[in-house]
Chains A and B, each alone.
Chain A
């Protein structure tokens, strides 16, 4: 089957997911539908002097057992591997010889403080020249922190074909990775692809840096109430971690091998903003453009979109701009929109993939996950945010999933029910 542009339809035949709500897709989905928050006080490191002391975190088994926290790239890779493994099982595929490329959405990584301090102790001096010379031959440091390292190890383990592609488009990263996979299949480069978003950046310096940009909420008293997308008293996002992997497959290929098709990625749209490094153009043109491009790419009309999985970060600015975009694209009666980030926080590079995954389950089960912590509506937004309780629906065919990034990188996906 081809789409309206003569391209192969792209099916999703397996999903794996990790978030602060747990390891595993169905566990996460059940918690999400129950309106559970995964945000907690940060226990991974000391929070003295921090303005924000809570986050969504995913700890590894050895950390739970008391080991020192791993560096971000290790967490990123482990969550990614877990998500891919789960997705492959769901797709009925064996691990180790995947017949397609790896599209990896991940954050930039770099040497962290524990490694610097260890090198300085070894060198006996704190300067970069001394650290650099002392580091020579520590190949493990090199391989962990090279940008290509995570992709190389995942590609090796899962036997993906060709060079692994690692992409970062800030908060749109996960959606960009899916888009790369969809394009590879549409182009005929491959009949299947692994697309994922993964992020594990809750470490002191990252929290401080986002804090210094005034992007984070510091509503520390009750972490579960801190993320309040679209609500009147929202005042910033909550950093979080997680990963989601999607097995993308040419629909005909999936059907020929008898795979269960969860849904389709039927449209991808993007548009970059040139207004400001952390803010959207006040006219909303680029986010509106991205939403419209995705809907057009899917060959549907705005009226066909029955639900929107919001970017919904809980910052005053994002949610206002997203509401503006909703009205521009859908008119004065936009479809319901809810934000998974009210429960799992902002998983940054993983968000686009995690939210695409939840959008597919929304289609599968015909139930909209809620926006929790919605106590006082923001009257300027005028949106149905599926407040506080999941909602059963019927006849939902198309979902729009929004991802808008710092640096003006906006990507929207249309997920559709299986034809």
Chain B
């Protein structure tokens, strides 16, 4: 089978720092300070999202009403990516791969229901649950909750209909979403694809999902490298979608390639601690056989202790390359983090520069010719993406 070059021609990026590649370049090159809300979800701090002008990307109020914040955020960022790529006319045959977490629950209904059930006898609980849920759940909430409906809404709102796949599995899902989308284009299954993920950080249901793992940082903000032996991640609101395109297709329509995808690889070391995860990442890096000149790293380090130890071991092994720990500024956006870091890498390469330190441990300086994006999942998964200057 043929292997065709795949490039990034569009970025849709939203984070606590703002929206769009320009705003992120401006903010990050000026050494932006993290935006933190330490109160609303105390004891867990979050990086909140800015208010979005949703009407610009989701013009129908009816569509907005059918979604909750997570789907609106993702649909919005997907639209930004399509616009950035100048690809509105290409959506009918555009392939879509989304990395998704769970959609919104109705927090008020959940708390009232939990209170009622806590006080009910086991015998009465079943009937009580049925009665209250059947009357209190909004019918459309189910659709706002289904993971694959972010993709569904992107199809409906933006007309993306080439194909639609939704991968699940936290950080790893996002890396594999990009890997699979790029591989399909490279082998001739389509010319253009939209891939990415979104994470709404200001949601108690997400806090409740991650808190049991002991992975959430508590108290005041601290950069990733300063979270001590216990470690922890700070949930960061963000969405990142990328328009991927074969280099030939981009050239033919006069689209600007921001960066070339040099390779994307992933694995899952079942034994993470004690070097398992670092060894998996080293093997992935060796397998990429990439030139090491002019290399920079945007590390997806979440802050979770076990993963951080492994990732630091991998980064030291790489040698003296400039490393940027982006979660210290943006927080951790689970399914959105890897695409956001790939977007930041493509952005830097297209600008011919690199970012100043984002974390006190960040060392080394640009300029860079190629950027390695790492993705060590909070629990499982190792992924690497290599971005190169567009040809």
**Residue-by-residue, is B1-28 near A (CB-CB < 8 Å gives 1, otherwise 0)?**
1000000000000000000000000000
* With A128-B107, A151-B169, A208-B133: A143-B160 Cβ-Cβ less than 8 Å: no
Report the stretch among A18-26, A167-175, A363-371, A376-384 that lies at the interface.
A167-175
**B129 interfacial by beta-carbon distance below 8 Å:** yes
Q: How far is the CA of A210 from the CA of B153 in the complex (A)?
A: 19
A104 to chain B, nearest CB (A): 9
Q: Select one of B141, B142, B183, B208 contacting A187, CB under 8 A.
A: B183
CB A6 to nearest CB in B, in angstroms, measures: 7
Considering the chains assembled together, what is the distance between the CA atoms of A139 and B383 in angstroms?
A: 23
Which B residues touch A66, using CB under 8 A? none
Q: How far apart are B206's CB and chain A's nearest CB, in angstroms?
A: 10
B147 neighbours in A (Cβ, 8 Å): 108, 147, 168
In the complex, A391 has a CB within 8 A of chain B: no
Residues from chain A with a CB closer than 8 A to the CB of B103 are 108
Docked complex: B215-234 residues within 8 A CB-CB of A: 215-216
Q: Are B1 and A186 in contact (CB under 8 A)?
A: yes
- Chain A residues whose C-beta falls within 8 Å of the C-beta of B160 in the assembled complex: 272, 274
Q: What is the distance, in angstroms, from B284's C-beta to the closest C-beta of chain A?
A: 10
- B134 near A272 (CB under 8 angstroms)? no
- Please, which residue of chain A has its CB at the minimum distance from the CB of B179? A163
The interface size bin for chain A is 35 or more
- Contact flags (1/0) for B98-124 with A, using CB distance below 8 Å? 001111010100111111011000000
Q: Are A128 and B208 touching (Cβ within 8 A)?
A: yes
Q: Is B176 an interface residue (CB 8 A)?
A: yes
Which residues of B have CB within 8 Å of A143?
A: 213, 379
B341 nearest CB across to chain A (Å) = 17
Is B273 an interface position by the 8 A CB rule? no
Contacts of B116-173 to chain A: CB distance below 8 A: 117-118, 125-127, 129-131, 133-134, 137, 139, 141-143, 145-149, 151-153, 155-156, 159-170, 172-173
Are the C-beta atoms of B142 and A407 separated by less than 8 Å? no
User: What's the nearest-Cβ distance from chain B to residue A69, in Å?
Assistant: 11
A352 to chain B, nearest CB (A): 13
Q: Which of B49-57, B262-270, B290-298 touches A?
A: B262-270
A110 to B145, CA, bound (A): 11
Answer whether A128 and B173 are a contact pair too, CB < 8 Å, given A108-B102, A170-B148, A205-B133.
no
Output the residue of A127, A278, A407 with the most chain B CB within 10 A: A407
Query: CB distance A147 to B149 under 8 Å?
Result: no
B216 CB to nearest A CB, Å: 8
Say yes or no for B249: interface residue by CB 8 A criterion.
no
Q: How far is the CA of A136 from the CA of B287 in the complex (A)?
A: 38
Report chain B residues within 8 Å CB of A128.
107, 110-111, 204-205, 207-208
Say yes or no for B352: interface residue by CB 8 A criterion.
no
A116 partner residues in chain B, CB cutoff 8 A = 110, 114, 117
Interface residues on B, range: 35 or more
In the complex, chain A residues whose CB is within 8 Å of the CB of B151: 169, 272, 407, 409
- Contacts known (A129-B204, A136-B211, A272-B163); A50 close to B187, Cβ less than 8 A: no
Which of A40-48, A224-232, A259-267, A322-330 lines the interface with chain B? A40-48
* A129 lies within 8 A of B380 (CB): no
Does any Cβ of A come within 8 Å of B180's Cβ? yes
- By the criterion CB–CB under 8 Å, are B155 and A110 in contact? no
Chain B proximity mask over A117-128: 1 for CB below 8 Å, otherwise 0: 100110000111
- Contact partner of B168 (CB less than 8 A), chosen from A51, A167, A205, is A167
**Contact A108 to B379, CB < 8 A, known contacts A128-B207, A133-B43:** no
Docked Cα-Cα span, A148 to B270, in Å, equals: 12
Contact among A131, A163, A170, A186 with B381 in the assembled complex (CB-CB below 8 Å): A163
Cβ–Cβ contact A139 & B130, under 8 A? no
Does A336 make an interface contact (CB < 8 A)? no
Contact of A136 with B142 at beta-carbon distance under 8 Å, contacts A47-B130, A169-B148, A208-B137 already known: no
Residue of B nearest to A134 (CB): B211
A61-88 near B? 1/0 per residue, CB < 8 Å:
0000000000000000000000000000
Residue of B nearest to A149 (CB): B379
- Complex-state Cα separation, A331 to B166, whole angstroms: 33
- With a cutoff of 8 Å between Cβ atoms, the chain A residues found around residue B204 in the complex are 128-129, 132
Q: A235-269 vs B: 1/0 string, CB under 8 Å?
A: 00000000000000000000000000000000000
User: Which A residues from 140 to 161 make CB contacts under 8 A with B?
Assistant: 140-143, 145-148, 151-152, 155-156
Interface string of A161-197 (1 = CB under 8 A from B): 0111111111000001000100100111100000000
- Within the complex, the shortest CB–CB distance from B310 to chain A, in Å, comes to 15
* B44 within 8 Å of A (CB atoms): yes
Q: Are the CB atoms of A131 and B208 closer together than 8 Å?
A: yes
Chain A proximity mask over B248-259: 1 for CB below 8 Å, otherwise 0: 000000000000
Q: Let me know if A408 is at the binding interface, CB within 8 A.
A: yes
Q: Are A212 and B168 in contact (CB under 8 A)?
A: no
Q: How far is the CB of A378 from chain B (nearest CB, A)?
A: 27
Give the Cβ gap from A327 to chain B, nearest Cβ, in Å: 22
Query: Does A405 belong to the interface (CB within 8 Å)?
Result: yes
Is A220 an interface residue when CB atoms closer than 8 A count as contact? no
Knowing A128-B207, A212-B134, the reply to whether A147 touches B117 (Cβ < 8 A) is no
**Residues in chain B near residue A146, CB distance under 8 A:** 169-170, 209, 213, 379
> Whose C-beta in chain A lies nearest to the C-beta of B209?
A145
Partner of A272, one of B115, B130, B155, B210: B155
A176 to B170 alpha-carbon distance, docked (Å) = 19
Establish whether residues A142 and B210, one from each chain, have CB atoms under 8 Å apart when the complex forms: yes
Q: Do A120 and B173 contact each other (CB < 8 Å), given the known contacts A156-B270, A162-B268?
A: no
For B111, list chain A residues within 8 Å (CB).
126-128
Residues in chain A near residue B142, CB distance under 8 A: 209-210, 212-213
The contact of A277 among B44, B129, B143, by CB within 8 Å, is B143
Task: Report the minimal beta-carbon distance from A136 to chain B, rounded to whole angstroms.
Answer: 5
Q: Are B126 and A45 in contact (CB-based, < 8 A)?
A: yes
Q: Does B163 contact A271, Cβ atoms closer than 8 Å?
A: yes
Which B-chain residue is minimally distant from A285 (CB atoms)? B161
Give the residues in chain A near B212, CB-CB below 8 Å. 135-142
Whether A166 and B167, one on each chain, are in contact in the complex, defined by CB atoms closer than 8 angstroms, is: yes
A46-B161 in contact (CB<8A): no
For this complex, 26 residue pairs linking A to B, each with C-beta atoms less than 8 Å apart, are: A7-B1, A45-B126, A49-B127, A49-B131, A51-B134, A108-B102, A108-B145, A113-B129, A120-B114, A128-B110, A128-B207, A132-B207, A132-B211, A135-B211, A137-B214, A142-B214, A146-B379, A165-B167, A166-B169, A167-B167, A204-B133, A210-B142, A272-B161, A272-B163, A277-B66, A278-B143
Q: A49-B130, A116-B117 are in contact. List 10 more A-B contacts (CB 8 A).
A: A128-B110, A133-B211, A162-B268, A168-B167, A187-B1, A208-B134, A209-B142, A407-B152, A407-B155, A408-B161
Q: Which 9 A-B pairs have the closest CB atoms?
A: A46-B126, A407-B152, A142-B213, A128-B204, A148-B169, A48-B127, A272-B164, A147-B168, A126-B115
